């Protein structure tokens, strides 16, 4: 399946995979990078304007959608599930990934029951609305959310517009994911970025990833919760530009 995507700018190609529950517009704060790079922002299946084929999904299925874009070798920047896809690609299709940036993510993110219950709640309601507020509350620090209500509202609207079946199937992919054994096979130069205040994927998860990928560099941004690319857009842009230059 070729995912919905938008291409902005010119230069080395950078594919950008967003967080669970968001669309490619999660990366709007990174658009200044289009002055130097060709940004390919895409929607995961069941998100934004991408279709939601019948589940179940695995991380490998979501990664195959990226490969269907026909790009490569390319740089890849991912946040949360987008970075899980990036790890899978770098380990299993290394010829397609030049440099890798992993933001606020995990190689294994349990407990499984949490993902099962979230998926069941969404499917029962036929909407992501019942999980929207508690999920979005973990995406931004309280101070940033209070000071930037438009940014919070924009992220919440992305989540509530996600296809419920597609969102639930993506929850299942995370539930069953275990990429820990793949990390040592990643040869792409890798930057791992953490949000110091991230409750969804705490810093220790990124520390383990950085320690397992040969030569990886680890940076921690503060203040920043899970969607650090929104809360610390300028700092993330600087780190991306440094790593890809």
- Summarised one tens digit per residue, pLDDT across range 85-139 is 999 999 999 999 999 999 999 999 999 999 999 999 999 999 999 999 999 999 9
Q: CATH homologous superfamily for 5-244?
A: Alpha/Beta hydrolase fold, catalytic domain (3.40.50.1820)
For residue 145, name the pLDDT band (cuts at 50, 70, 90).
Answer: very high
pTM: 0.98
pLDDT for residue 81: 98
* 237-242 own/partner pairs: CB under 8 Å, 24+ apart: 237/29, 237/30, 237/32, 237/33, 239/101, 239/191, 239/193, 240/14, 240/30, 240/33, 240/77, 240/101, 240/191, 241/33, 241/36
- Token reading at 206: 């990124």
For residue 215, name the pLDDT band (cuts at 50, 70, 90).
Answer: very high
For residue 71, name the pLDDT band (cuts at 50, 70, 90).
Answer: confident
Distance CA 245, CA 241 (A): 6
Instruction: Please give the backbone phi and psi of residue 133, each rounded to the nearest 5 degrees, phi first.
Output: -65, -45
């Amino acid at each position: 399946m070729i995912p919905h995507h938008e291409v902005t700018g010119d230069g080395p190609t950078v594919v950008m995979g967003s967080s669970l529950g968001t669309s490619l517009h999660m990366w709007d704060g990174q658009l200044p990078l289009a002055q130097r790079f060709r940004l390919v922002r895409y929607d995961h299946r069941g998100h934004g304007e991408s279709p939601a084929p019948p589940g179940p999904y695995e991380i490998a299925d979501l990664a195959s959608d990226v490969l269907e874009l026909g790009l490569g070798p390319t740089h890849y920047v991912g946040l949360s599930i987008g970075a899980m896809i990036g790890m899978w690609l770098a380990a299993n299709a290394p010829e397609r990934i030049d440099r890798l940036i992993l933001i606020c993510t995990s190689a294994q993110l349990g407990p499984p029951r949490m993902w099962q219950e979230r998926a069941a709640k969404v499917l029962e309601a036929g909407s992501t609305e019942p999980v929207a507020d508690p999920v979005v509350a973990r995406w931004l620090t309280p101070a940033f959310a209070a000071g930037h209500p438009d940014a919070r509202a924009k992220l919440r609207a992305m989540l509530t517009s996600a296809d419920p079946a597609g969102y639930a199937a993506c929850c299942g992919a995370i539930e069953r994911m275990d990429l820990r054994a793949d990390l040592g096979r990643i040869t792409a130069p890798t930057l791992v970025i953490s949000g110091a205040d991230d409750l969804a994927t705490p810093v220790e998860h990124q520390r383990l990833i950085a320690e397992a990928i040969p030569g990886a560099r680890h940076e921690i941004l503060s203040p920043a919760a899970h969607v650090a690319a929104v809360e610390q857009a300028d700092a993330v842009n600087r780190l991306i530009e440094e790593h890809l230059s």
